[in-house]
Structure formats: C-alpha cells, structure tokens
Amino acid sequence: MSKSTEKFGSGEARLYTDLQVKALSGKTIIGKASKQVPGFKSQLDKFEQQIALGSYSKSTLHNYARAVAGISLHFQKDVLSLDDEEINAYLFSLSQQDSKSDTYFKHCVYGLRFFFRMYDREDRALKLPSLKGQKKLPVVLSGPELKRLFLAPQRQKQRIIFALIYSAGLRISELKGLTIGDVDFDRKRILVQKGKGNKPRQVILSDFIATGLKKYLQGAKPRYYLFNGKVKGQPISAGAIQQSFRLAKEKAGITKDCCVHSLRHSFATHLLEHGTDIVTIKELLGHADITTTMLYLHVAHIPRRKVKSPLDILYAEQLASKA
C-alpha cells in the first residue's frame, strides 16, 4: 500500500471530498481524466462547488462528473473545445454499445447538459438530444421472496441492512448516511437527515427490525455511522450493499430483474395494497411530486370495492327506513 493510499485510508480522508479522492487516485475514470486531460481538474472543482451549494445530490453530480470524464478521455481534450459533430458521434457510439446501459447514456446526456450550463453555454446544452421518458414499472418482490432474501446472507449486518431498507422504504444513499443517533427506539422513528435534495424526513422504525437492530448494535458496536464501511470512521459503501444484494438474491433463488432499490419499491407497493393512502406513502418515501408515487398504483394489487353513490350515503337513514 502506498503512502498516498494510506493517507486516504485514515481519518485524514475526511479532509477530502469524494471527487477529490477519486481525482487524486488516478484509478477511476475521474482520476484518469484529471491526470490525462488538461483543464479537467479545474472543471471538477466546479462540480464540487455545486455539491457544496447543495443544489444537487452528491450521487447525481458524481454520475455527471464520470460522464464528462468519459468523453474527455475519449477525445483526450477539454469538452468545451469539442464541436457538435464530435459530441453527437460519441453519444451515437454509446447508444450502440450493448455494454453501456440506458442509465449510463442518460447520465452522459444530462451530465453534458449540466456541464455546458455550468459554463453559461445554454446554446450548447439545448443542442444535445432530448431523452424520451421511458418509465418502466418498478419491480416488486413478493412476501415469500423477501423472507428468503432476508435469510440468505450469512452475516447479521447484511440481513439487517436489507430488512431495514424494506421496512422503512429507504434509498441506498439514505441507509449509508444513517448514524446511531438517527434511530429513535422510543418513538419508533428513524430520522433521515439528508434525503434526496437534502430534504430531511422521518420514516417508520418497524418493531421487528428494532429488535434485530438492538442485537446488531450490541454485537457490532459501531461508534458513529449505523453501518461502518471498510475504512475506519467511514460509512458502508453503496457498492458493498449492492454486491451483497446480488449474492443474496442468487442464493435466495430470486429470478426477477431486481436490485437494492426494489426493496423500496416493494415497501411502497405493499403499503398501498394494505390500505395506506397515497399521500402518506408520498411523505414516507420523500417524494417531491405525488405523480412519482402514483406509479405504484400500476403495480399494486388492490381489490376493487363496491362503490356507493355519495348521494345514497348522504340519505342513508331515509333509504334504510324505506327498506
């Protein structure tokens, strides 16, 4: 292990932002672009400013920075110096690669659009191709599938993480940032300090998970973050959670095309199926717009009820007397 790696593996890593660490490592796509492409490092600083201002989530700007780093490395020059034909050719090549997902292509277009606007180049941002919304219905796990998934991991920590995400409808970024003090066992609530858009909210602390959490805390003895990562004093990484999920999914024999976020989808859908109103679910999920929450109406199995006219309800007593 090099001295620089040791430096970032210690408490000193807290002095650096995630993007700065990646830029200095030279191993990630951001690090390679920082070392090989003139001017990219200063452009990365602008991304950092937006993170500091809190106008975008860290994960969103990391994805945008990776996208800009990718095209910078491809041409080995500053994105601002690229002409429209070069950018369109690059985007077309991405769209033809089976190895690149639709999400990666979307991040690239959105990242470039954000990048040009960051430099007051609205004209170039508008020239980028528009993306048609291809909303897919969320994948929802059944009760038996969830039970098998929760039992699959050997480590208690992983079982608790999956059950906690499902029980409270958490995003993976929200789970990562939870501290011991965010869990209120008495009031049966969990405080999510920084939800999407840096909006705090309270979520449910299930009685079932509370029991398991207490046992986990007694055994693991975390000091600050609820779930520690490999680096001392740092939270668990999203990659570690995703990898654990893939292994647990395979072991549980689940063939659906699901991911960690499917646990959040399952939480919302199951609440809806058990009679929770859509507005309450919206607040629990931390959605800014209720139309996002209404997507779950398309996948929830809600039995149809016999509908009565409100007029008959209004005059129910008179109707009963005539019967």
Each residue's pLDDT tens digit, 140-170: 999 999 999 999 999 999 999 999 999 999 9
Q: Give how many domains the chain has, as a whole number.
A: 2
Average pLDDT on 246-263 reads 95
Calpha distance 210→224 (Å, rounded): 18
Residue 287 is among the residues annotated as catalytic for this protein: yes
Neighbours of 144 (CB within 10 A): 10
Rounded to 10°, the helix 102-118/84-96 angle is 160
Same domain? 193 vs 68: no
**Domain of 250, in residue numbers:** 143-298
Model confidence at 8: pLDDT above 50: no
Residues 101 and 148 in one domain: no
Given the residues 32, 159, 171, 282, the one annotated as active site: 171
| Annotated catalytic residue 117 | no
Identify whether residues 194 and 102 lie together within a single domain: no
Confidence of residue 119 (pLDDT cuts 50, 70, 90): confident
169 and 257 share a domain?
yes
Highest mean pLDDT among 25-29, 214-218, 229-233: 214-218
What is the pLDDT at residue 25? Answer: 54
Q: Dump pLDDT digits (tens) for 286-296.
A: 998 888 888 88
Residues 227 and 293 in one domain: yes
Please report which confidence band the pLDDT of residue 135 belongs to, taking 50, 70 and 90 as the band edges. low
Round the average pLDDT of the chain to a whole number and report it: 84
Dig out the tokens for 297 from the structure.
């109406």
From the list 196, 201, 225, 251, the catalytic residue is 196
Q: For the chain, what percent of residues have pLDDT higher than 90?
A: 41
Catalytic residue among 264, 265, 270, 282: 264
Same domain, 198 and 243: yes
Same domain? 183 vs 288: yes
Instruction: Give catalytic status of residue 274 as yes or no.
Output: no
Going by C-alpha positions, the residue among 172, 236, 177, 165 that lies closest to residue 203 is: 165
Residue 107 annotated in active site: no
CATH code of the domain covering residue 148: 1.10.443.10
